[in-house]
């Protein structure tokens, strides 16, 4: 199956599935799950986190099971920040958009600095990747996006996300844009409901797609996460299960050559694709390469079992691994970090 428009290096040890853990340590059952060949990585949630030292120990225990696993987290800032105690309290992205309205240069520089700081703290803990930045538009209709977006205006989202990505890359972290082709124009929360965006493609292209297109053209996105949103005037399937969205639009029209992650396949909006193995197969057939299966251990095992003997992996996990540049001790005394903290007090 062709899943990319470029030659991605094949890592035979890589699977397709990113799973989660129940608590702050790894159980024996979870160790056995992580050892299975279809598993590619782990995502950490707030329930897995006590403080910074515990996170570092948990990551070390994951790597003791398999060194090659990709360890990920959602560390956006604001209400989506999994690592809290011992970490910088990051502002919601919308605060940068608010600042941009009257201090665009300051907001842009702070976006770059926050991308660097977030990524530096995450990587210093041994975690490879935060799923960021959010490229959705912060329109009033969408409560699930809301403050997670930089702004309502696509041009401002593109500008601030550009600088945020630069900061992440300076710290040694790959970037993942979400939620393609845009989740900000629907009211429903795809975690709990079916979400439908009835606009024609032209309306989506001239608004929601602009930040994605801009960052792809600037080669700033290493990964992409599609939305579990249905756009019925464009395709019959939600974007994360749609070859039209992921192949014709994302790969061919926009020229994206990075890695495509699915959003969590246990979310209610993903139920349109059937049971968990069916969701995995449809996501892979559409063009997703790494599949998130979270908050349902039985569902995760069902997907892993279905893919163990027939992995579709065509992605080099190593290109997504964090490249540590600073230890925690170095980071705590780093002048850039100290300057950012003083700015956050004023923000």
Decide: helix, strand or coil at residue 22.
coil
Q: Two tokens at 258? A: 């990075």
Dihedral sign from CA coordinates of 82, 216, 325, 8: positive
- Strand 80-81, strand 75-77: pairing: antiparallel
Q: Which residue of the set 189, 191, 268, 334 is catalytic?
A: 191
Locate tokens 């399937």: which residue? 237
Residue 182: left (phi > 0), alpha (psi -120 to 50), or beta? left
Query: Which residues does 37 contact at the CB level (< 8 Å), separation at least 6?
Result: 13, 15, 308, 311
- DSSP for 121-166? HHHHTT--EE---B-S---TT-TTTGGGSS-SSHHHHHHHHHHHHH
Q: Which residue of the set 263, 264, 310, 334 is catalytic?
A: 263
263 is catalytic: yes
Spacing of C-alpha 203 from chain mean position:
25
Q: What's the CA gap between 62 and 90, in Å, rounded?
A: 26
179 is catalytic: no
Residues forming the active site: 191, 263
């Amino acid at each position: 199956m062709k899943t990319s428009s470029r030659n991605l290096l094949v890592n035979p040890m890589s699977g397709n599935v990113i799973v989660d853990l129940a608590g702050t340590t790894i159980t024996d059952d979870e160790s056995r799950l992580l050892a299975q060949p279809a598993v590619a990585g782990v995502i950490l949630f707030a329930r897995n986190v006590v403080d910074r030292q515990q996170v570092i120990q948990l990551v070390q225990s994951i790597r003791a099971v398999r060194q090659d696993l990709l360890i990920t987290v959602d560390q956006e800032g604001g209400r989506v920040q999994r690592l809290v105690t011992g970490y910088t309290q990051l502002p919601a992205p919308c605060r940068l958009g608010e600042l941009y309205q009257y201090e665009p240069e300051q907001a842009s520089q702070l976006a770059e600095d926050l991308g660097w700081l977030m990524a530096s703290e995450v990587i210093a803990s041994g975690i490879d990747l935060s799923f960021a930045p959010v490229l959705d538009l912060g329109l009033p209709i969408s409560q699930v996006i809301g403050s997670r977006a930089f702004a309502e205006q696509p041009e401002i989202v593109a500008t601030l996300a550009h600088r945020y990505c630069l900061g992440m890359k300076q710290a040694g972290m790959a970037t993942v844009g979400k939620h393609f082709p845009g989740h900000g124009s629907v009211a429903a929360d795809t975690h709990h409901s079916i979400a439908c965006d009835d606009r024609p493609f032209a309306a989506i292209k001239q608004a929601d797609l602009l930040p994605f297109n801009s960052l792809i053209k600037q080669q700033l996105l290493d990964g992409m996460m599609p939305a579990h949103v249905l756009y019925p005037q464009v395709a019959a399937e939600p974007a994360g299960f749609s070859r039209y969205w992921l192949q014709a639009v994302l790969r061919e029209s926009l020229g994206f050559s990075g890695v495509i992650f699915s959003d969590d396949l246990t979310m209610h909006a993903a139920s349109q694709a059937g049971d968990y193995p069916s969701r995995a197969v449809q996501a892979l057939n559409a063009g997703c390469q790494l599949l998130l299966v979270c908050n349902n251990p039985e569902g995760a095992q069902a997907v892993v079992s279905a893919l163990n003997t027939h992995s579709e992996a065509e992605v080099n996990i190593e290109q997504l691994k964090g490249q540590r540049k600073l230890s925690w001790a170095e980071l705590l005394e780093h002048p850039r970090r100290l300057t950012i903290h003083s700015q956050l007090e004023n923000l």
